[in-house]
């Protein structure tokens, strides 16, 4: 028995020595252990560079003056040196304005509304077009833009579910610390109220004409459409 | 809000239109923008270097100087730019902060100048970006340590009214402050050494009578050693009690390390006294004697190196702990392996795992006593692996400890160097400051002199052309002189040369030096005798000055005292010294005709260094006295 122990231990000892030896050889590169460390790093193109169209074109397409476009671009480029905004950055920026709540859902919808060509990033042109409508457009255009925002799947109809999503997103931005405390069914109730107002033919969806008609008849909404025009 | 996010505010507000159709209630009115400015370039001129940026960029941070209306204070109408008389290099970082939202700390910049600039521009240093924050904090900590060292030096300064207790405590803490303290310091050191040597010699076998076996000296000369021990313990006890009495915070003192060492050093003696020669406890008594060796730690009060070592070990506690832990792990592993490997061999010394601990420790620390050696092949293989790994495991944490020690040691070196250089530095700074004070005194002298001699010739040639600032400053000092009326109301105080002042101050009753001449008449300079209006206190700074006739010789020859002379009814000695006019002592700025007010030693004096004396005796006798008085700086 003891001899067995001895032999066993001896074998282990020899094994250990061999392993150490192999490792030392590996260090000196004499034994290739299998994988070759390819030193090439794959430099992935990290940034997508985008240069906007010329100033004149943008001036023609939007309702901003040259100076205003310059100011807008400087701010835009400062924040996003690569020239495009992706959704993450969008959410970050929006979150900074609403620190108490969670603005990411609404930012997501907003991003989709701005991203006209649906390529996952908002370039300066998209940005400026959107702003042009929001700040310098006619009330009709603004309402169309709002409809576009609410219509998540862009099929021309606002369903209750879509509206509920939007409403929840807006209420999320408020956060938890509100007075009075937000209850679970508040967005739902709000959607009911909205649909009662907007849905004239009670078919469960709101079309764009219904929407525009209804809004144009509402004093408050009309007035509030002009609120933010002095932004720039 | 973070930096450029302000740029997105228009967008966020515009996007709010998305909520409008959903809202039930009317919206609040939008804030009107009064006098909305188009975005314009503004020019910031910082010490000549022009920076330009958009106004909007600066408006991003409205709670800083540049972002608020505070910058309007710096607006220069003529050049239509904002002028700041600050460092342009640091301003670069400040402006970049507005541009990028990140504040960077350049490494080549001095930490305190950077802090000042940030404070000026109203920027909180905490927003320094992560890339530079660590560096900033490190430098700041270093600087704070340095300043703390300097402040600690200032604690050496003797305060004017120290109670006996405070004096004693100060003497204990800083032996070089007074002779008594130094004596005490050396005496205690001597007795510590004596005590330790006694303990050591006690155990040496002394020569013995031929028929007896050798006994240690302690048993042969019991009485002598006992007396020595008693004497040392007496001294230590007295010292401890004195420190306890003098300590400002007794409770804290009692908890401090040094006092615990003191107590542990003297306690065995008292315990030994109390215990009788009881059989049971004599064993414990012997153990107690071991504690006497702790007296050697008392030396750490005397040696700074020891203190540094102790401090290093304390600060490397985590590394030491890691070393210990890893060693323990390795010991257990290897002991187990060795035990089982050697189990088979006959007459193996590895009787149990704990017995193998000894072998493992000796091998890992590469001692290799050889009292236990493995005999089997497996044992030998594992034994060699053990010794190799021992070297590695011990070598790993050691550099960390070494670098810690080196850092602390160098810090101390630097502190000492700084302390040594400080005196010279301060002296040189004072020297450069004398210019203005000397100018004042000089001009005063000249002015009076001119008045007195009724020179008709305008002395503008002789007088140095004084600038407007200088003349205003002199006027100010004059006014101050006139304002400070002494209690005798016969004269007002005047600014005098520092050495002049020093001497008079010394006379004024500081008991620092026992060798003060008793014949000096006292205080504010009223000499008794002949002409109360005329007689002045006259101090010639040098005994061998071109002696005005009435001067009496020195009454003591203390080398520091620059010839305190006895007051006498000496009259006017205008400019009678042989000095060159630059290093003028103010002897008698008074005119010849005794009409001027008396000049006395003023309480207010301008700190001019005595290095201006031609002897170059830079050593002010009344060093402590220096700081006791109100000094009006000439600058």
Token readout for B223 is: 């009485």
Higher pLDDT: B161 or A19? It is A19
Contacts (Cβ under 8 Å, ≥6 apart) of B420: none
Alpha-carbon distance of B474 to B496, in angstroms, equals: 13
Question: A5 and B385 in contact by Cβ < 8 A?
Answer: no
Sign of the torsion formed by the C-alpha atoms of B229, B231, B235 and B241: positive
Strand partners, B197: none
Q: What whole-number distance in Å separates Cα of residue B133 and Cα of residue B126? A: 8
- Asked if A67 is an interface residue toward chain B (Cβ–Cβ < 8 A), one would say yes
- Please name every residue paired with B83 in a beta bridge, in sequence order, or none if there are none: B45
Parallel, antiparallel, or unpaired: how do β-strands A84-86 and A121-123 relate? antiparallel
Residue B544, SS3? coil
Nearest-angstrom CA–CA distance, B102 and B505: 58
Residue with tokens 């420790």: B361
| CA angle at B77 for the pair B72 and B79, rounded to the nearest 5° | 115
Q: What phi and psi values does residue B624 have, to the nearest 5 degrees?
A: -65, -35
How many C-beta neighbours within 10 Å does residue B238 have? 11
Answer for the pair B104, B93: CB distance below 8 angstroms, yes or no.
yes
Of A6, A96, A143, the CB nearest to B344: A6
Question: How many other C-beta atoms are found inside a 10 Å radius of the C-beta of residue A58?
Answer: 20
> How many angstroms separate the CA atoms of B52 and B99, rounded?
11
Of A95-109, B279-293, B436-450, B513-527, which one has max mean pLDDT? Answer: A95-109
Q: Tell me the CA distances in angstroms from B556 to A175, B372, B518, B543, B613, one per residue in order.
A: 88, 79, 10, 11, 20
Residue B506 pLDDT exceeds 60: no
Residue B449 confidence class, pLDDT cut points 50, 70, 90: low
Q: How far is CA B430 from CA B74, B396, B474, in A?
A: 35, 52, 19
Predicted confidence band of residue B453 (pLDDT cuts 50, 70, 90): low
Average pLDDT for chain B: 72
Q: Using DSSP, state whether B42 is helix, strand or coil.
A: strand
Mean pLDDT calculated for residue range B323-341: 90
Q: Which chain B residues are closer than 8 Å to A221 by Cβ?
A: 20-21, 23
Q: Which two tokens mark A60?
A: 């023609």
Q: How many CA atoms within 13 Å lie on the side-chain side of B273? A: 9
C-alpha B630, offset from chain centre: 23
pLDDT at B37: 57
Mean predicted confidence (pLDDT) in B504-523: 44
- Cis-peptide, bond into residue A180, ω within 30° of zero: yes
Counting one residue from chain A and one from chain B, the pairs whose CB atoms sit within 8 A come to 128
Least confident range of A162-171, B473-482, B558-567: B558-567
What is the token pair recorded at B627? 């700081």
> Over 50: is that where the pLDDT of B123 sits?
yes
Burial tier of B470 (Cβ tally within 10 Å: 0-12, 13-18, 19+): middle
* CA of residue A198 relative to chain centroid, distance: 28
Contact assignment for B381 to A94 by CB distance below 8 Å: no
Question: Which tops the pLDDT comparison, A3 or B28?
Answer: B28
Least confident of B32-36, B122-126, B390-394: B32-36
CB contact under 8 A, B23 and A16: no
Task: Name the pTM for this structure.
Answer: 0.50
Q: Across the interface, do B27 and A167 touch by the CB < 8 Å criterion?
A: no
Helix A139-150 / helix A208-217 crossing angle, nearest 10 deg: 130
Please tell me which of the candidates B15, B18, B21 has its beta carbon nearest to residue A221. Answer: B21
Residue tagged 């010294």 (tokens): B577
Gyration radius of chain A over CA positions? 30
Q: What is the dihedral of CA B310, B314, B315, B318, to 10 degrees?
A: 140
**How far is B609 from B620, CA to CA, in rounded Å?**
8
Per-residue confidence (pLDDT) for residue B333, from 0 to 100 = 92
CB-closest option in B4, B18, B376 to A75? B4
d(CA A163, CA A187) in angstroms, rounded, equals: 9
What pLDDT was estimated at residue B497?
57
> How far is the C-alpha of B448 from the C-alpha of B463, rounded, in Å?
12
Of B265, B253, B255, which is closest to residue B298 (Cα–Cα)? B265
Residue B605's pLDDT is 39
* A220 and chain B in contact, CB less than 8 A: yes
Residues B371, B349: Cα–Cα separation, whole Å: 9
- Residue B39 DSSP code: P
B22 interfaces chain A, CB cutoff of 8 Å:
yes
Q: From its phi and psi, is residue B159 left (phi > 0), alpha (psi between -120 and 50) or beta?
A: beta
Comparing C-alpha atoms, which of B42, B66, B71, B56 is closest to residue B9? B56
Q: Which of B172, B177, B182 is CA-nearest to residue B156?
A: B177
Report how far residue B251's alpha carbon sits from residue B21's, in angstroms, rounded to the nearest whole number.
73
Angle made by CA atoms B303, B306, B309, in degrees to the nearest 5: 150
**Residue B599 has what pLDDT?**
39
Partner A contacted by B352 (CB < 8 A): no
Tokens of B419: 């302390």
**Bridge pairing between strands B41-46 and B81-84:** parallel
What's the pLDDT tens digit per position in A172-199?
Answer: 887 777 767 777 788 888 888 888 888 8
Helices B179-202 and B222-246 pack at an angle, to 10 degrees, of 150
| pLDDT reading at B396 higher than 70 | yes
> Which range is most confident: B36-50, B121-135, B356-370, B428-442?
B356-370
Q: So what's the pLDDT on residue B380?
A: 92
> How far is the alpha carbon of A38 from chain B, nearest alpha carbon, in Å?
31
Predicted ipTM of the assembly: 0.70
| Tokens at A23, concatenated | 């490792």
Inter-chain contact B21–A6, Cβ cutoff 8 Å? Answer: no
Q: Are A123 and A77 in contact (CB under 8 A)?
A: no
User: Is the confidence at residue A5, as pLDDT, over 70?
Assistant: no
SS3 B552: coil
Segment B164-191 shows an average pLDDT of 85
Query: In the prediction, which pLDDT does A52 show?
Result: 75
Determine the pLDDT at residue B559: 39
Our separate counts of H helices and E strands in chain A read: 11, 4
The verdict on A131 touching B (C-beta cutoff 8 Å) is yes
Q: How confident is the model at residue B212 (pLDDT cuts 50, 70, 90)?
A: low
- B412 neighbors B304 (Cβ within 8 angstroms): yes
Between the ranges A112-121, B44-53, B214-223, B397-406, where is the mean pLDDT highest?
Answer: B44-53
Tell me how far CA of residue A39 lies from CA of A24, A32, A33, A46, B500, in angstroms. 22, 15, 16, 19, 80
Ordered DSSP codes for A49-106: ---PPPHHHHHHHSS--HHHHHHHHHHHHHH-TTSEEEHHHHHHHHHHH--SS--HHH
């Amino acid at each position: 028995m003891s001899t067995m122990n001895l032999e066993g231990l001896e074998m282990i000892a020899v094994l250990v020595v061999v392993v150490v030896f192999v490792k030392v050889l590996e260090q000196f590169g004499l034994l290739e252990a299998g994988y070759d460390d390819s030193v090439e790093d794959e430099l992935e193109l990290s940034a997508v560079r985008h240069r906007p169209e010329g100033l004149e074109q943008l001036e023609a397409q939007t309702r901003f003056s040259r100076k205003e476009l310059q100011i807008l671009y400087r701010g835009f480029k400062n924040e996003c040196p690569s020239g495009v905004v992706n959704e993450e950055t969008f959410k970050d920026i929006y979150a900074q304005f609403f620190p108490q709540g969670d603005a990411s859902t609404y930012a997501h919808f907003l991003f989709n509304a701005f991203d006209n060509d649906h390529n996952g990033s908002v370039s300066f042109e998209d940005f400026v077009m959107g702003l042009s409508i929001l700040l310098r457009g006619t009330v009709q255009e603004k309402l169309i833009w709002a409809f576009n925002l609410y219509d998540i799947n862009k099929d021309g109809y606002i369903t209750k579910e879509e509206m509920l999503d939007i409403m929840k997103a807006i209420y999320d931005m408020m956060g938890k610390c509100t007075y009075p405390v937000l209850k679970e069914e508040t967005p739902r109730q709000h959607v009911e109220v909205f649909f009662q107002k907007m849905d004239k033919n009670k078919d469960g969806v709101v079309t764009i004409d219904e929407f525009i008609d209804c809004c144009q008849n509402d004093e408050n909404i009309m007035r509030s459409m002009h609120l933010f025009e002095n932004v720039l | 809000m973070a930096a450029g996010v302000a740029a997105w505010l228009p967008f966020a507000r515009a996007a709010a239109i998305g909520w409008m159709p959903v809202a039930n209630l009317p919206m609040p009115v939008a804030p009107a923008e009064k006098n909305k400015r188009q975005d314009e370039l503004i020019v910031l001129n910082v010490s000549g270097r022009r920076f330009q940026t958009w106004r909007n960029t600066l408006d991003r941070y409205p709670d800083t100087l540049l972002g608020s209306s505070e910058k309007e204070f710096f607006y220069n109408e003529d050049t239509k730019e904002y002028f700041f008389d600050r460092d342009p290099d640091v301003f670069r970082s400040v402006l970049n902060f507005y541009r990028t939202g990140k504040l960077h700390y350049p490494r080549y910049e001095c930490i305190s100048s950077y802090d000042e600039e940030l404070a000026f521009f109203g920027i909180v240093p905490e927003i320094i970006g992560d890339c530079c924050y660590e560096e900033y904090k490190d430098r700041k900590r270093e600087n704070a340590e340095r300043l703390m060292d300097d402040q600690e030096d200032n604690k050496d300064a003797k305060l004017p009214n120290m109670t006996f207790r405070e004096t004693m405590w100060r003497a204990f803490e800083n032996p070089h402050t007074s002779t008594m303290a130094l004596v005490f310091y050396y005496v205690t050191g001597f007795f510590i050494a004596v005590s330790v040597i006694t303990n050591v010699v006690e155990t040496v076998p002394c020569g013995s009578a031929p028929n007896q076996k050798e006994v240690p000296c302690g048993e042969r000369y019991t009485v002598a050693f006992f007396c020595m021990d008693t004497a040392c313990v007496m001294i230590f006890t007295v010292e401890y009690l004195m420190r306890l009495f003098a300590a400002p915070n007794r409770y804290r003192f009692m908890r401090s390390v040094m006092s615990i060492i003191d107590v542990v050093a003297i306690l065995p003696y008292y315990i030994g006294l109390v215990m009788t020669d009881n059989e049971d406890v004599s064993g414990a008594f012997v153990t107690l004697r071991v504690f006497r060796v702790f007296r050697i730690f008392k030396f750490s009060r005397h040696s700074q190196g020891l203190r540094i070592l102790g401090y290093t070990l304390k600060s490397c506690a985590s590394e030491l702990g890691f070393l210990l832990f890893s060693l323990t792990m390795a010991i257990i592993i290897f002991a187990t392996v060795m035990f089982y490997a050697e189990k088979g061999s006959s007459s193996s010394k590895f009787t149990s795992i704990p017995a193998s601990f000894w072998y493992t420790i000796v091998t890992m620390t590469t001692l290799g006593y050889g009292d236990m050696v493995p005999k089997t092949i497996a044992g030998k293989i594992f034994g060699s692996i053990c010794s190799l790994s021992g070297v590695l495991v011990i070598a790993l944490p050691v550099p960390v400890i070494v670098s810690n020690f080196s850092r602390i040691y160098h810090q101390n070196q630097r502190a000492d160097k700084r302390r040594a250089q400080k005196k010279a530095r301060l002296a040189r700074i004072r020297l450069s400051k004398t210019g203005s004070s000397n100018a004042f005194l000089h001009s005063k002298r000249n002015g009076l002199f001119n008045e007195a001699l009724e020179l008709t010739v305008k002395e503008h040639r002789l007088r140095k052309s004084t600038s407007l600032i200088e003349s205003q400053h002199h006027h100010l000092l004059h006014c101050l002189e006139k304002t400070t009326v002494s209690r005798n109301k016969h004269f007002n105080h005047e600014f005098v040369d520092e050495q002049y002042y020093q001497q008079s101050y010394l006379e004024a009753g500081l008991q620092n030096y026992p060798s003060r001449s008793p014949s000096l008449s006292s205080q504010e300079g009223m000499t008794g005798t002949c002409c109360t209006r005329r007689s002045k206190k006259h101090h010639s700074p040098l005994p061998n000055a071109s002696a005005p006739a009435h001067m009496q010789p020195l009454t003591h020859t203390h080398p520091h005292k620059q010839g305190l002379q006895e007051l006498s009814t000496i009259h006017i000695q205008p400019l009678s010294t042989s000095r060159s006019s630059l290093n003028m002592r103010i002897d008698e700025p008074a005119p010849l005709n005794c009409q001027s007010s008396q000049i006395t030693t003023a309480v207010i004096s301008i700190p001019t260094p005595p290095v201006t004396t031609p002897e170059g005796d830079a050593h002010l006798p009344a060093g402590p006295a220096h700081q006791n008085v109100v000094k009006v700086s000439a600058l």
